[in-house]
Structure formats: C-alpha cells, structure tokens
Structure 1
Amino acid sequence: MSSAETEVVCVSRDDPRLCAGYHERYPEGEAYPELPSTRVLWVIGFGEPVSVGRGERRSSFVAAPRDRVSMIGVGGLQHGIRLRLDPLDAFSLFGVPMRGLGTEFPEIDAVLGRQGADLTERLFEAGGWRRRFAVLDAALARLRARGPKPDPGVAWAWRRIAATGGTVRISGLADELSMSRRHLARRFHDQVGMAPKTAARILRFERAAELVADPSRSFAQVAAETGYADQAHFTRELRALTLRTPGDLRSQTFKP
C-alpha cells in the first residue's frame, strides 16, 4: 500500500470539476483502478510518471469517460494535481471531441499543444497549493472562454440523464428535442464521450458505487434506490463493468 499524504484542495458538487492536490509515495509496481466514470480525468504530474494504457509512461495526461476499469501503475514519488471534469466542461476546455480522446490516455500536450506543457511547468514552479490553484483557475477560465460551447440539445439531454441518475428513458430524449435519435447520439458521443445509453448506464453505476460505500445500506436497498431490477441485476452489472462484486466494491472502498 502507499505511504500517502494527500491534500484535497477543492471538492464541490456544485463545481463542474473535482480537484485534488496530492503528494504520495508508492512502492514500485503498485497499481490502482480507475473505475468506469462519466468524468474526464486530467492528471497534471510533477513527480514520477505513471504507467497507463498498454504500459505507456505518462506524467500529465487525460483519460476520457470510460465504461470499463483501467489500471494505472504507480511507483516512487507521485506529486501533482488531479481534476475530474464534467465531460461538457472538458469539451469546452480542451476544444476537441471527447470521443477523440480515445482510450490511450494522451499526454496533455497532445490535447492542448504547447500550452498544456507550459501550464504544467507554471503549476510546478508556482509552489504552494493556494498559488497553484490560482494559476490553474486563471488558465481554465481562459481555455473555457475561447473553447467551443456544447450543443444546447446535448447539454439538455446530459442534464436530464444526470439528474435522474441514468434512469430516464433514453428513447424519449430525442423526441422531446425534435431531433433524430441518430443525430442526438452522434453529437452526444462527440461532446460527452460516450453514447447516451452508455452514459446512463455509467451514471447509474456511479450513484450505486457511492451508496455501496455506506455499510448501513444493504445491497438490495442500493439496487432499488438506483433503478436496478433487483440485487441480482445490480451484481451482474457490477461484474460486467468492474469484474467485482458489491462486497468487493464496499470492502475496497473504490470510488468512481
């Protein structure tokens, strides 16, 4: 296990991003799972690179929304900032289709160009979390201001799916928008990073994973509260998405 000293700098449900500054030391060869998530993971690293994808070494990288577990290998000093971005905010910040990020954890300079590498350097040199996050906030504001705005129909559909924890009837969303289902699915995939049905599935999983961490709730209660047909259905979905059982998820306290 890691000998970790992690400082959470800002976590807010009302903010489209979840941010944490971290300073951790791991034994060589350790790995941790990134569970299925609708959020875009952006790691801005100042320490040792990590192993991602097919074993590529990365310091500062981006991971698109994902419908499967990805393992990230760590070792030595891990130091930097992690951001978990709302996908539509990431679409505006990076200015590229979310589906274009793929599954290979691209380096940030492959997404933002030289300004990505420059930002990493400025954050490292800033020193102190307060100063670093002031620099980061200013950079994000500039990127967001000049980046593309999400399609209003996609944004509305995303909010509807998210507000219901993935239980809304997807087939009805296009009808309410007076848009063809194919057109909505294509634009949604470009800007959110996954198809509407997949996003709904992962949002439901994310909510269930939060509730599973509460030992006062039975797995049957979690299944009922998050829209699964029953506990067996919930267990099958967890196995399909994570190769884990509800008990594994609870005991290991994995969070999406």
Structure 2
Amino acid sequence: MRADSTGMTPPDRIRTIRTSSDQGRWEMAFCTPQPQLRPLVDFLVGYDESDTRFTRRHELPGIQAVLIVNLGAPITIIDTAGHVLRIGSGQGFAGGLSEAYAVSESDGSQRGLQVMFTPPGAFRFFRLPMHRLANRVFLLDEILGREAMDLIARLQEAPDWARRFDIMESVIAARLAEPSSAAASTAWALRQLQQSGGRLPIAALADEIGCSRKHLAAQFRDHVGLAPKTVARILRFQEVIRLIDGMTAPDLAELAVAAGYYDQAHFSRDFRALAGLTPGEYLRRRLPGQNGLPVG
C-alpha cells in the first residue's frame, strides 16, 4: 500500500523546521500520517542534526512507542531499565512506553527516521505484549527479523524525506492490516485518560468499563505496557511540558496546579523523576521543537 495514488507522500502532510543556534543545527521534517493510520500513529519525523554542543541528552517519556532507523553516525541508547544499546548507521531500534527518561549519546550529530506509535498501534505493529517492550529498547531486527533489514535498505536508498515517509507508511499499513486481539475497552480507557490529562481516577475508569482495577491493569500491561496509574502520571508530566513550552516565563506553582498536581513539592518531585532534571534546569536547557533535553 502506498500513501496515495502517486506513491509519494503529499507535501501538505509534511512540515519542515530548520533551526540554527549556538546549540547546533537541526532539520526536522514532521509527517502527519495518512488518514487510515492516524488512530495508530501519532506522527513520523525525519531528523538531521549536526554540530551540537552536547553529545548526551535525556529523552523524555511520553504515551507513544517508538521505532527509529539510524541513517547517520552511530549512537548509543541507555534505556530506562539501564541497558546499553549501540546502534550503528543502517540499524534500527524500537521501544515501548517508558516510565522515566532514557539517555541518548552521539558524537554531536544524528540523522534518522522516527515513528511515534500510539499504544494500540504499537501493539498491532510489533505483535508483542507491550510490557515486553516497556522501559526497553531493542534492535529492530530482533523484533521484525528480515523485514527490518529490507525496510532499512529501502530507507537508505530513498532520495528524500517524502519518499522515506511513503516507504515507512506502506510497511506500517501492511502490518496493521492483520487482525488484532487488542481489546477495544483498553483503547477507550486510554483515550479517557488522555482526554482528562491523567486526572481521571483509575477506580472510576474501571467502574465505567465494568471491570476490576486488577483486570484493567492486566489489560494495560498487555496492550499499553504500563499500569494505568503510571500512564496517568506521564500524561500529567506531558501536560506540564506542553504548558512550559508555550510560555517564556512560566509560573511553576501555577503550572503544577493546572496540570493536576497536589502541590508544588509533588510536582517538582515527579518532574525530576521523569525528566532527570528539575523544572528550572529544564527551562534553561530545553530545545525548540524537540523532546530531548541536552545534559552534556
């Protein structure tokens, strides 16, 4: 399956951002998925960064699973569980949801293509219980076998981001065409948590579905990867990041209340556990348009 009848991703689905500063140079091409993939893929992005003043950063947690194909220099990932994975040029890796930050290391440049899956999309694409991927990253060929090598070879030969997005979407669409055992109630519960910004009580969510909290947690373990309470915690954190990034001089105490934290101490403690830095350090180090946070 191709992205459209021409076999090329339409330009109106691609938004490119180029940034140059004392921190380095970036090009990021964001692709909105074709309509039939949007419930399962949040977005795709091609990135090319060089001459960065840092070689190490924290990759912040979110409610997506990731697939990345490295098209540049070797990089190293230290996942949330502490495992170290070296990814050479022409290799790919994948990971599920994480309950805290991971660490990426490079020589100051990175280039690759990244897919951000929703949990239901990741469950269907990787065809694995999502708890097996939670807090971890794995080489792509360990998960997809020969299909990973074929995909990476095609991406390496592609002349531009539009063609790479087209190739990636065709592979995703083919794998998602297979029947899935994912429970619709789990996807619904996840949407309710997302829409509430992580504020919806888990007991109320289980009552609405008509199951026990234990059963809901088991469903989340298989189809999302993390417990509902942990997902809610990440959603609150994401809301804070969204609010901070939209302000020049945010009031952190007000943000804590707006995002549903009990008090500023709860907010600061949670933020540091998830980001690896304090809110003030995040404000000083954040990069425009990116999820990563330079630390060295």
- Whether TM exceeds 0.5 here: the answer is yes
Equivalent-residue separation in structure 2 for 1:237 and 1:22 (angstroms): 29
Equivalent-residue separation in structure 2 for 1:167 and 1:215 (angstroms): 26
Match of 1:135 in 2: 167
**Alignment pair present for 1:40 and 2:61:** no
CA 1:20–1:40: 2 relative to 1, 3 Å = same
> Unpaired segments of 5 or more residues in structure 2?
1-21
Matched to 2:141, the amino acid is D
Equivalent-residue separation in structure 1 for 2:23 and 2:32 (angstroms): 22
**Alignment pair present for 1:100 and 2:100:** no
**Alignment pair present for 1:241 and 2:274:** yes
Match of 1:56 among 85, 93, 101: 85
- 1:19 alignment partner, SS class: strand
What's the CA shift for 1:26?
Answer: 4.9
Match of 1:126 in 2: 158
Match of 1:201 in 2: 233
What's the CA shift for 1:77?
Answer: 4.8
1:161-181 deviation digits (Å, cap 9, x = unpaired): 011010001012122211122
8 Å contact from structure 2 (residues 29, 161) kept in 1: no
Residues 222-233 of structure 1 aligned to structure 2 (within 5 Å): 222-233=255-266
Match of 2:111 among 62, 79, 84: 79
Equivalent-residue separation in structure 2 for 1:251 and 1:28 (angstroms): 15
Equivalent-residue separation in structure 2 for 1:197 and 1:150 (angstroms): 20
132-141 vs 26-35, which moves further: 26-35
Equivalent-residue separation in structure 1 for 2:54 and 2:257 (angstroms): 39
129-138 vs 68-77, which moves further: 68-77
Match of 2:25 in 1: 4
Number of aligned residues: 255
Residues 120-199 of structure 1 aligned to structure 2 (within 5 Å): 120-146=152-178, 148-199=180-231
CA 1:234–1:77: 2 relative to 1, 3 Å = closer
What's the CA shift for 1:197?
Answer: 0.3
The structure carrying a bigger helix percent of its residues is 1
CA 1:97–1:28: 2 relative to 1, 3 Å = farther
8 Å contact from structure 1 (residues 94, 147) kept in 2: no
Matched to 1:127, the amino acid is P
1:69-128 deviation digits (Å, cap 9, x = unpaired): 111111265222012221111111111111111434101111122112211111111211
Equivalent-residue separation in structure 1 for 2:106 and 2:206 (angstroms): 43
Match of 2:19 in 1: none
Matched to 2:252, the amino acid is F
Matched to 2:84, the amino acid is G
Matched to 2:44, the amino acid is C
> Aligned-pair RMSD on alpha carbons?
2.2
TM superposition outliers: structure 1 runs of 4+ over 4 Å: 26-29
Q: TM-score, normalised by structure 2?
A: 0.79
- 1:75 alignment partner, SS class: coil
1:193-231 deviation digits (Å, cap 9, x = unpaired): 100000000011011111122224311221121111222
- 1:106 alignment partner, SS class: strand
Q: TM-score, normalised by structure 1?
A: 0.91
